[in-house]
Chains A and B, each alone.
Chain A
Amino acid sequence: EVQVVESGGGLVKPGRPLRLSCTASGFMFGDYAMSWFRQAPGKGLEWVGFIRSKAHGGTTEYAASVKGRFAISRDDSKSIAYLQMNSLKIEDTAVYYCTDGTYGHWGQGTLVTVSS
């Protein structure tokens, strides 16, 4: 059974960093891209970014709202994808979800609250 589990959320002050983890199981992690999405309180879904598989260069793409501040990486040996969030802003407050490359398997999400 495919599972993805996000972790690492919490309360953080504006301007500070935070790293989220997405631990996957049940599929050949290294063969797939991994994506991050978010949902601000009471709002719709927003794509944050993704990282391609190593076979496709392991390169990343980001939404304009986070480009230059967020970075996605992966550790295929541990089946974990990371979302490093720097220079956090109040408007980054959201539940963050990760998905596999099919966009079909979502975790339960992890809440990031940016507040002074």
Chain B
Amino acid sequence: DIVMTQTPLSLSVTPGQSASISCRSSQSLLHSDGNTFVYWYLQRPGQSPQLLLYDVSSRFSGVPDRFSGSGSGTDFTLRISRVEAADVGVYYCMQGIELPTFGQGTTVEIK
């Protein structure tokens, strides 16, 4: 199985500031078709996970452009600009190149 390792595991952010979450995979997530199957989710307290980004950096429908993704191969980053109270929750990265696996989750709170 591909292991996904997220850092940090928790983050406290001042509203209006930026935050970054890193996700490292145990093997390359670059598919032979040229796509890189990395997904980022936010699970707000008491809610289902919601997809933020797919294919590393493509924003899912309705996701604000404050959320952006980057990376290649085995190293990926989710960046949240101008953090708001609504961004509180647990963020997960997931790989989809093989049978899906998730990172441990990063808890984001507001200072």
A and B: bona fide binding partners: yes
**CB within 8 Å of B: which residues of A?**
35, 37, 44-47, 61, 63-64, 97, 102-109
- B108 contacts the other chain (CB 8 A): no
Interface size range of chain B in the complex: 20 to 34
Contact assessment for B39 and A103 in the assembled complex, using a CB-CB cutoff below 8 Å: yes
Majority DSSP secondary structure for residues of A touching B: loop
14 chain-A/chain-B pairs, Cβ below 8 angstroms: A44-B92, A45-B41, A45-B92, A47-B99, A47-B101, A63-B99, A64-B1, A97-B48, A97-B49, A102-B54, A104-B51, A104-B60, A105-B51, A106-B51
- B74 contacts the other chain (CB 8 A): no
Within 8 A of A (CB), among B31-47: 39, 41, 43
User: Which residues from B are CB-within-8-Å of A105?
Assistant: 51
Question: A4: nearest residue on chain B (CB-CB)?
Answer: B48
Give the interface centre of A45, A47, A64, A108 by most chain B CB atoms within 10 Å.
A45
User: Which residues from A are CB-within-8-Å of B41?
Assistant: 45
In the assembly, what is the distance between CA of A63 and CA of B100, in Å? 9
Contact assessment for A109 and B94 in the assembled complex, using a CB-CB cutoff below 8 Å: no
Q: Mark B39-79, 1 if CB is under 8 A from A, else 0.
A: 10101000011110010000011000000000000000000
Question: B61: nearest residue on chain A (CB-CB)?
Answer: A104
User: Which residues from B are CB-within-8-Å of A61?
Assistant: 99
CB distance from A62 to the nearest CB of B (A): 8
In the assembly, what is the distance between CA of A97 and CA of B92, in Å? 15
Contact assessment for A108 and B54 in the assembled complex, using a CB-CB cutoff below 8 Å: no
Contact assessment for B102 and A103 in the assembled complex, using a CB-CB cutoff below 8 Å: no
In the assembly, what is the distance between CA of A106 and CA of B50, in Å? 7
- B105 contacts the other chain (CB 8 A): yes
In the assembly, what is the distance between CA of A37 and CA of B43, in Å? 14
CB distance from B12 to the nearest CB of A (A): 20
Question: B98: nearest residue on chain A (CB-CB)?
Answer: A61
Contact assessment for A103 and B48 in the assembled complex, using a CB-CB cutoff below 8 Å: no
In the assembly, what is the distance between CA of A17 and CA of B87, in Å? 38
In the assembly, what is the distance between CA of A63 and CA of B101, in Å? 10
